[in-house]
Chain A
Amino acid sequence: MRSLTELETVFEAPPATGDPEVAAAELLQASEEVLEHWIRARGDVPTQDTREGFRLLALHRQGAKGDPSFNACRETCREIAYHYNLVTMGDVYSDITDRLCMMAMISKHLYLFVSGKMQVAGLGEFCCSAKPIRAADGATST
């Protein structure tokens, strides 16, 4: 598994000029590795299962288990899968490079969220799970 720093360079690289399907698969693989970092950091073994045909979605589900705040990146993961399908399952697009660039931007957002959350665990917690950021403090005045 590549380091998060190595993965960032994948998302920032200009789109590959070769086979678009290979480039899309590389971005998908790199996104899966981002989620693997999150899961391993929590002491779990990343699943090899798939959901709706994507290991990425199964990994997201595993990462969100017991931590609803991780759903802050649920739609981002689904958009990566959607853009992968646009590149690999559609007809020949004239804008295939744009599709790949967009997939890279969405994958980078996943990277930024997960790497940010590994620094600040509360990221996404307040908004997306409606839990207080300092719930662990047990502060209640009522």
Chain B
Amino acid sequence: MTMKDKYKKVAYYPGCALEGSGHSYNRSTKAVGKALGLELVEVKNWNCCGAMEVKNVDPKLQTYLSSRVMSVAANEMDMDVVMAPCNGCYHNLKKAEYDLKNDAESAEVVDRLSKKAGHKTYESGQVETIHALDWIKDTIGEEGLAARVKNSLSGLKIANYYGCMYTRPRHIFPEKDQGPGSESTSKPHFMDDLLAAAGAENVDFPLKTACCGGAHTLSDSDISTKLVLNILKTAKLAGADVIATECPTCHSGLEMHQIRAEKTLGEKVDIKILYFTQLLGMALGLKAKKVGVHENISDSIKFLKAKGLG
């Protein structure tokens, strides 16, 4: 089976953020999937991946929690691909996969907890975890996407911000940096490729994987605000009027610290922040509301209407 066929129907793991602050990412991911004829089957009774909170207290418990999601997909749903649009979930499932393959102690803990919880133990390699970017890039591709565009993103200048958890640490993403066609950990480009196919103009943005202080956004807000402000100003200097995101944590951080920078530092940067799935959805002819633009913290509706979108 080709990758194109393999990813047409995947187990969908939205994760906690997509049911809360990242709801517009959930809505737009589902809407884009439907518009592209791709099938998402939500993981039954899914649990938290261990996110930041559990991982901080007990990393092996996080490995177990992520492994349970993969176990349900593999053993109860007979799926072999799990798609996680959230960088945090994607990262944690990838890390669990790596740990189960390379660390006997992690495998022992996961087996013990799985038996205690009464479900089959996840075995490394049973499923492949992919990101929403892989899902669209590998099934539809740039040519397929361009052929389906009804409302070109032409005229939009976009800085693509991937954040850190999509590419770091490199060892948990063995499929990346594998030459032509694969994603790069140093200069990721999948989001750039898809948005360009939808007609957008990507600007040369040097901070696409730079630290935004995300994990410290609440405990050390001033550091995060300064880092985010510099990311926003750099995107603006690069000529962008939109920052495209592919992670609910990055997205919320950029939006919230954009507001906080104005309030605490008196610096306003006029740049819109939208999920790449929202942009792709509008390019496919979906209304702004259908892809949840109204659910974002920042207001982009007027801007999008002026550009002939939404």
Contacts and interface: CB of A to CB of B under 8 A. Distances in A.
Contacts, number: 121
Given A120-B220, A124-B211, A132 B56 contact: yes
Nearest to B166: A127
A42 B56 CA distance: 24
Interface residues of A, number: 41
A22 interface: no
Given A127-B215, A139-B58, A68 B169 contact: yes
B41 interface: no
Interface string A51-73: 00000000000000000100111
Dominant SS among interface residues on chain B: helix
B16 interface: no
Main secondary structure of the interface of A (DSSP, over half): helix
B213 interface: yes
Interface in B46-81: 52, 55-61, 64
Interface in A67-90: 68, 71-76, 78-79, 82-83
Given A123-B211, A130-B95, A142 B61 contact: yes
Contact of B186 (A78, A123, A131, A132): A78
Given A116-B220, A123-B223, A142-B61, 16 more contacts: A68-B169, A71-B169, A73-B210, A105-B234, A109-B230, A112-B230, A119-B220, A123-B211, A123-B220, A126-B215, A127-B211, A129-B169, A130-B169, A130-B172, A133-B215, A140-B60
